[in-house]
Amino acid sequence: MRKLKRVVIKEELVELTGDSVKSLILSQFLYWTDIMNNLDEKKKRDIEAFEKIGETYEANKLRKELRNGWFFKSAAELDDEIMISKRSTIDRKLKELIELPFIETRTPDEMAKTNREKANRSTWYRIDLKILHKELKKIGYPLEGYSLPEDEESLSDSIAQNEQSEKTLINSIAHFEQSTAHFEQSTAQNEQSYNVLLQNITTNTLVSKYVGANAQSIFELYKKDFKPTTHAKNSIELFCETYSPDLVAEAIQRAVMNEADKPIAFIKKVLFNWHEAGCSTVEQVLDHEKKFKEERKRKLAEKRKKQSSNKKIVRKEMVPEWHGKSNEENKADAKAHENMSDEEFEIEKRKLQEELKALNAELKNKGKEQPV
């Protein structure tokens, strides 16, 4: 069932932008800001988990993917989301909206300095929630749903801290990229072991805790056999939030084995079927499939047994040659023998004796050929 779209016109955003269409665009920007922040929080937890087990390489890879509130959105996508205006109007209103002080923009090349996502993207946007809060406060409205510093000193300190954190992140990433070659040489053996671990995941072995640690690891597994699109990545993240990552990894392996043309749809269907069967772990899936195969084997055996019991046994017996003849034919043969002369009888008798003698010799020869 398709989820219906909803748009909400908020009074405070209309008052702030002076236009209902611009207020809807701003509302969607806030919606995507929340999504990016939630994804970042999840990645930060994964980074902490990797650092605790000493996986610095994986932690740095995830750290480079942090969005820090940035998202890309085209006018065509906004047109589809807000549903109430023409594309040309969306383009014009968007240009007017980004002139407001609380909206930041970056080109794809600029974004590539702090995030690996770059190629063929639209303009990137970020809402400065603190400036937005100040602008709303000027016209007597709160920023609903956000907890922000009340005093100007705290606000300034927070902004300065964020800017310093971003500069530190850029420097850290630059240092990381310079040392990547040396690091990869020193950890080649670990990388090889990790790849072997991913390749050896089958339906008969459970996914390790390391592979199932987070959605990013599962997406790396997906990329080994399927095209890594944005839709696929978002779907894998959603699957990992809904089901256990180990279960998602197992579904990916099933898609690989079945050479699925539409892997995401295939994985979604498999996960749904397992959920309907009450399976929440790979172990439960394997147990469920084992029981299903045993039940099918039992029913097949019962069916064959029933079919064999219904077969009629046809008994074959040796009968004399005259058994199949009619009474008239048998009487004719008997009359022919009665009218036979003595000379004809002797000839017939010798002929029969010779046939019996040949038959006995043949039987004796066969008996000699058989091994003792």
Helical H segments across the chain, by residue range: 11-17, 20-52, 56-64, 75-82, 87-97, 108-111, 129-138, 152-178, 180-186, 188-199, 215-223, 230-242, 245-257, 263-276, 282-309, 327-338, 342-369
Residue 196 confidence (pLDDT): 47
Q: How confident is the model at residue 133 (pLDDT cuts 50, 70, 90)?
A: very high
- pLDDT at position 74 is 80
**Helix 215-223 × helix 245-257 angle, to 10°:** 10
The residue behind tokens 């400065």 is 128
pTM score of the predicted model: 0.40
Average of per-residue pLDDT values in the chain:
76
DSSP-derived 3-state class of residue 226: coil
Count the neighbouring beta carbons within 10 Å of the beta carbon of residue 313: 4
What's the rounded Cα separation, in Å, for the pair 80 and 224? 32
| pLDDT of amino acid 103 | 92
C-alpha span between 51 and 276 (Å, rounded): 36
pLDDT score recorded for residue 134: 92
Least confident piece of the model among 13-27, 196-210, 324-338: 196-210
Q: Higher pLDDT residue, 186 or 140? A: 140
**Could you tell me how far CA 54 lies from the centroid of its own chain?**
29
Q: What is the pLDDT of residues 232-290, one digit of tens each?
A: 888 888 888 888 888 888 989 899 988 888 899 999 999 989 988 889 888 898 988 89
Strand ordering across the sheet containing 124-127? 71-72, 124-127, 103-106
Q: What is the per-residue pLDDT for 83?
A: 82
Residues 124 and 73: their CA atoms lie apart, in Å, by: 7
Provide the 3-class DSSP secondary structure of residue 235.
helix
- Is the Cβ–Cβ distance between 129 and 146 less than 8 Å? yes
Of 77-86, 180-189, 198-207, 324-333, which gets the smallest average pLDDT? Answer: 198-207
CA distance 98 to 91: 11
Report pLDDT for 139: 92
What pLDDT, on a 0 to 100 scale, did the predictor assign at position 242?
Answer: 86
- Give residue-wise pLDDT tens across range 60-84: 888 888 888 888 878 788 888 888 7
What amino acid occupies position 193? S
